[in-house]
Structure 1
Amino acid sequence: MNRPLSSSDPGALLAAVLAANETTPDPRLRQVMAAGIRHLHAFALEVDLTPAELQVGLDFLVEVGKATGAERNEGILLADILGLATLVQLRSARHSVEAGGTEPALVGPFWRAHQPLRSNGATISSDTTPGPRLEVRGRVVDLDGTPVPGARVETWQASPKGMYENQDPEQEDMNLRARFETDADGRFSFVSVRPAGYPVPTDGPCGRLLAAQGRKVMRPAHLHFIVLADGFKCLATQFFDVDDPHAYEDVVFGAVGSLLRKFEPDGHGGYRLDVDLKLEPGEARLPHCPLP
C-alpha cells in the first residue's frame, strides 16, 4: 500500500510524479516529460511560486491559445520572444554550421502554404507595392560548394510598411511571396522591394508580456527563406538588413551575425542582395506551416 505524500517533502512529490511518467510507452516522450517535470518543479521551488501566480501563468497560456488563428500564431510568437525557437534552431543545426552550412533562423508565424511557383527572375511584388527595387540573386549548394539543382526555395517578406500581406487588406493575396526551383547551377533570382522592419504583434498576451518586461518589440528588416532538396536537411533562415536601426535588437533573437547583410545599392536607386544557401546532407522534411 502506498504511503500518503508529505506536504513538506517536495522531493517525494517529484519522485512520485516521475514514477508515474515511467509508464509512458514512447521513450522519447518519456525522456522529454521527465526533464520537463524536473525543471518545472525546480522552477516553482526556486521562485517560491504561489497559487495565485500559477493561475496567472495558466490563464496566460489559455489566452495564447485563444489569440491564435488564421492571421497569427501567438504560440509561435511566445517561443520566439523567449528565445526558445532560436535556441532549438541553432542547436539542431550546430553540426551543419560548424561544417560551413548557412545558419538557420526562425520560420516565424507568417509563412503560408501554397505560395505561388514563379519563374527565376520574376517580380514578386505587385505593381501597387511601394518602395525601392530589390534584386535578389541566390545559389543553393552543398557544404562543399557543389550546386544543388532542382531545389525548392520559398521566400516571403514584409512590405515597406512593415506588414505581411495576410495582415494588410490593401495588399494583393500572396504579395511578396513566392516559390522557386533552382536551375542546373543551383541558382534562383527574383525582384522585389526593400523590406522594412516591424514590431511583433503587441495586442495579445505576448505583447502584454513584452510590455511588462519593458522590452523593445521590433524586428529588423529581413527576407525569409526555406530550402528543400532531396538528400538534404531542410534549411529555414532569414537575411537581415545590417543598416536597419534595429539590426542588433531583434526582439526574437534571430539576427545572428552571419545573417546580417549589406543591401548593396545598384546605382539606379535600388538595391541588390546576393546569398548562398548551404545545405547539410540528411532527411528532407519541411517544418510546420503556420498559415494556410
Structure 2
Amino acid sequence: MTIDYQQNDSVLTEQVISSFEGTPDARLRTLMQSLVRHLHAFVREMEPTEAEWMGAIRFLTETGKMCDDLVRQEFILLSDTLGVSMLVDAINHRYATGATDTTVFGPFYIKGMPERRYGENMALTPGTPAVVRGRVLDTAGEPVADALLDVWQTAENGMYSGQDTAQPHGNLRGRYRTDAEGRYAITTILPVSYPIPTDGPVGKMLSATGRHPWRPAHLHFMIDAPGHRKLVTHLFDEADPFLKSDAVFGVKPSLMVAYRDRPANDELARQFNLAGPYREACYDFVLDRS
C-alpha cells in the first residue's frame, strides 16, 4: 500500500524508526531510533523550507571541511558552542565524589608533547612569567605519585601552537609528572582570554546569532594515573572578564584560581630560574579511583 506522507507524516517517522529494529547492537539501535524520533520532531515543529534544509546541509558540510587530524576540530567547536559538550560532561560526572570538577576537552589538544621536568618552563614565546603548582591527591587526601599532567594553553596572541604555525613546536604544551608527595610545578606565562576560531561555520553561526566568541583565560589539564579515573579540566583566572559568558559554557566556580604577584629573586624564582617578578597560582587536583 502506498502511503501519502503529506497527509500522514507520522507514519514516515515510524517506518524509519522500525527500519533500525534489526540493528544487532542494542545501544546503537536505541540511539538511532531516538535520534530519528527527536530529529523528525524538530523538523515537524520548525517546518523548514527546502532552502533552509539545504542551508543546514551546507553548514554541516563546511563544518566537516574545517576538521583535520592534528589541530582543528570544527565539530568539537560546534558541540562546545551549543553546550552539548558540557551537557555530555555533566551527564557523565553527575555524582559528587569529592574529585576535581571536569570541563570540556577543547579542539586543540595535540598528542605526544614533550615530557618536562618538575617546574620546567614550557613557554617558548614571551608573556608574563607565571608558576602554577600544587598537588595531585586522591579522594582520601593521599598524594598520587607519578601522575601525568598533560598541559596546554594559548600564547599571548590567543592562539595555540599547531594552530599558529609561527609558534615553535611544543610551545606552551608539556607533560609533567608528580613527585613522591604528589607535587607538581609548571613554569609558563600568564594565560589570556581569547576568541575561539571564527573563520569557519561556527564563527558564522555566532555572528549571525549575536554571540561573542571569547573564552576566559585558562590552562588545559588532562591528568592520568594508574588506578585512577582520567581527569580532563581547566584552571581559570578568577580575574577574567569572560568568566560569566564563556563561549563554550565551560566555567565552573571550583576551577577558578588567583594569580598572585610574586617578587623577583624570591626562593621560588631562584628555584625555577625566573629573572624578574612573576605570578603564582596554586591548586590541588583530586582524582577518583577507577
TM value normalised by structure 1? 0.91
- The 1:6/1:171 distance shift into structure 2, 3 A limit, reads closer
2:203 partner SS: helix
**Is the deviation greater in 241-250 or in 218-227?**
241-250
CA distance in 1, matches of 2:165, 2:18: 53
Query: What is the aligned partner in structure 1 of residue 94 from structure 2?
Result: 94
**C-alpha offsets along residues 242-269 of structure 1, whole Å, 9 cap, x if unaligned?**
1112122110000122112211222443
Following superposition of structure 1 onto structure 2, how do residues 44-193 of structure 1 map, counting pairs within 5 Å? 44-69=43-68, 70-95=70-95, 98-126=96-124, 129-193=125-189
2: CA distance between counterparts of 1:6 and 1:71? 44
Query: Is 1:241–2:240 an aligned residue pair?
Result: no
Indicate if the aligned counterparts of 1:226 and 1:235 stay in contact, CA closer than 8 A.
yes
Aligned to 1:221: 217
Partner amino acid, structure 1, of 2:185: S
Tell me which of 239, 243, 247 is aligned to 1:251. 247
Distance 2:133 2:54 in 1: 51
User: Which deviations, in whole Å up to 9, do the C-alpha atoms of 1:189-210 show, x marking residues without a partner?
Assistant: 1111101111111111111010
Deviation at 1:183, TM superposition (A): 1.3
Partner of residue 277 from structure 1, selected from 259, 279, 285: 285
Distance 2:196 2:5 in 1: 46
Alignment deviations for residues 212-253 of structure 1 (CA, whole Å, 9 cap, x no partner): 101011011100000111222211000111111212211000
State the one-letter code of the partner of 1:178.
G
Q: Within 2, Cα distance between the matches of 1:266 and 1:31?
A: 56
In 2: Cα distance, 1:272 partner to 1:31 partner: 49
CA RMSD of aligned residues (A): 1.4
Q: Does 1:23 align with 2:22?
A: yes
Gaps of 5+ in 2: 265-276
Structure 2 residue identity aligned to 1:20 = S
Give aligned-pair identity as a percent.
40
Match of 1:289 in 2: none
Q: CA deviation at 1:5?
A: 5.3
Equivalents in 2 of 1:5, 1:279: separation in Å? Answer: 57
> For 2:73 and 2:289, how far apart are their aligned partners in 1?
30
Cα pair 1:5 1:13 within 8 Å, conserved: no
Output the CA distance in 2 between the equivalents of 1:7 and 1:154: 55
**Contact preservation (8 Å) 2:108, 2:163:** no
Q: Does 1:32 align with 2:28?
A: no
CA distance in 2, matches of 1:21, 1:51: 26
Q: Which moved more, 1:268-277 or 1:213-222?
A: 268-277
Shift of 1:26: 0.8
Identify which range, 35-44 or 64-73, moves more after superposition.
64-73
Verify the 8 A CA contact 1:152 1:179 in the aligned structure 2: yes
Letter in 1 for 2:204: R
Greater shift in the superposed pair: 236-245 or 264-273: 264-273
Aligned residue for 1:248, secondary structure, equals: helix
Q: How far off its partner does 1:3 sit?
A: 5.5
Q: Which moved more, 1:115-124 or 1:143-152?
A: 143-152
Unaligned stretches of 5+ residues in structure 1: 283-292
CA contact (8 A) 2:257 2:282 kept: no
